[in-house]
Structure 1
């Protein structure tokens, strides 16, 4: 079973402070090859979502129709969108 490619894109910030790791809206990360560039707190939150998607599970969609999660920093609250690309079989 080939695992899908997962991309995380920073799409919004709900908190009043800038990201302590320096992330900005529009930043994108390939979960497999760029995970080390992602804030560790955001990566920690992303992992269960990625794991669920990689093993055939489903997640609720946001009002925008995509999958989103927030970083746990209450002062920042970066919003990330998960994009899933199924591998060619």
Structure 2
């Protein structure tokens, strides 16, 4: 069974608002919310998710979290990726 992946918008660094209206605190389930997350952000997230789903360890931020940024240089939303534990 593939692990459940959660993406959370945790920080904003750019000077403009998100074109899709994403705000800090927004959360997305990778399997059920794909159409809700900005396609550009999803494009960047996919390699990290693929690594996690196949048991690998992607690069981590200094605080130990797995993070990636929106590729729009005017927006620069920072997302955290987490593997949710299933019981």
Q: Into which bin does the TM-score normalised by the smaller protein fall?
A: over 0.9
Aligned length, in residue pairs:
87
Alignment RMSD (CA, Å):
0.9
Deviation at 1:61, TM superposition (A): 1.4
Normalised by the length of structure 1, the TM-score is 0.93
CA distance in 2, matches of 1:45, 1:37: 15
Deviation at 1:87, TM superposition (A): 3.6
Normalised by the length of structure 2, the TM-score is 0.95
CA distance in 1, matches of 2:62, 2:75: 21
CA distance in 1, matches of 2:19, 2:57: 31
What residue ranges of structure 2 are gaps of 5+ in the alignment? none
